């Protein structure tokens, strides 16, 4: 990975201190021309009572990665980003290891962005598919 991409990932990870992303141990690990990948460990702290990854934790991972991607691919000096809608289809359960969320831009408008976010396990098996709509609002 080149130095520029490493710097972006470092800034993303540093911005997660004292946030939900830190609480869930979400780490941004890969960036490309139109995508961002984050990972989250699957431990008892993100389980539902029957011992599998909680769907809400997956949605939090998806929105965290998609929103951070919006910040990266927009002018963060001029805009702040908010998620305005998210949907998730959970396909498979997972009880341990790590999950990876890859947010890929589907539509990059001046105001709204649409993200496709696929959550997979370490074996690249699909766990959940999410769609996130974000809005870029001008800073005043």
Distance CA(62)–CA(131), nearest Å, equals 8
Distance CA(73)–CA(28), nearest Å, equals 15
- Which residue, among 28, 30, 32, 93, has the nearest Cα to 58 in the 3D structure? 93
Confidence tier at 1 by pLDDT (50, 70, 90): low
The domain that holds 115 is classified in CATH as 3.10.129.10
Q: How many domains does the chain have?
A: 1
State which residues form the domain around 84. Answer: 3-138
Distance CA(83)–CA(2), nearest Å, equals 29
Per residue in 54-100, pLDDT tens? Answer: 999 999 999 999 999 998 888 778 888 999 999 999 999 999 999 99
Query: What pLDDT shows up at residue 85?
Result: 97
Per residue in 14-37, pLDDT tens? Answer: 999 999 999 999 999 999 989 999
119 three-state secondary structure: strand
Question: What H or E segment, with its residue span, contains residue 14?
Answer: helix 3-14
Please list the active-site residues.
Answer: 63
Query: What pLDDT shows up at residue 76?
Result: 77
Round to the nearest angstrom and report the end-to-end CA distance of the chain.
35
Contacts of 99 by beta carbon, 8 Å cutoff, 6+ apart: 39, 40, 42, 53, 58, 61, 119, 120, 121, 127
Confidence tier at 140 by pLDDT (50, 70, 90): confident
The reported pTM is 0.94
Residue 119 in contact with residue 131, Cβ under 8 Å? no
Q: How many CB atoms lie within 10 A of CB 91?
A: 12
């Amino acid at each position: 990975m080149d130095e520029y991409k490493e710097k972006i990932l470092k800034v993303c990870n540093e911005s997660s201190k004292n946030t939900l992303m830190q609480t869930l141990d979400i780490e941004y690990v890969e960036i490309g021309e139109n995508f961002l990948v984050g990972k989250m460990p699957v431990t008892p702290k993100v389980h539902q009572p029957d011992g599998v990854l909680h769907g809400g934790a997956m949605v939090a991972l998806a929105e965290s990665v998609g929103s951070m991607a919006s910040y990266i691919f927009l002018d963060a000096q001029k805009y702040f980003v908010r998620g305005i809608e998210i949907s998730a289809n959970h396909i498979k359960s997972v009880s341990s290891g790590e999950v990876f969320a890859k947010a890929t831009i589907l539509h990059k408008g001046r105001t709204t962005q649409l993200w496709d976010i696929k959550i997979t396990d370490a074996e690249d098996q699909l766990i959940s598919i999410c769609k996130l709509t974000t809005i870029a609002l001008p800073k005043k």
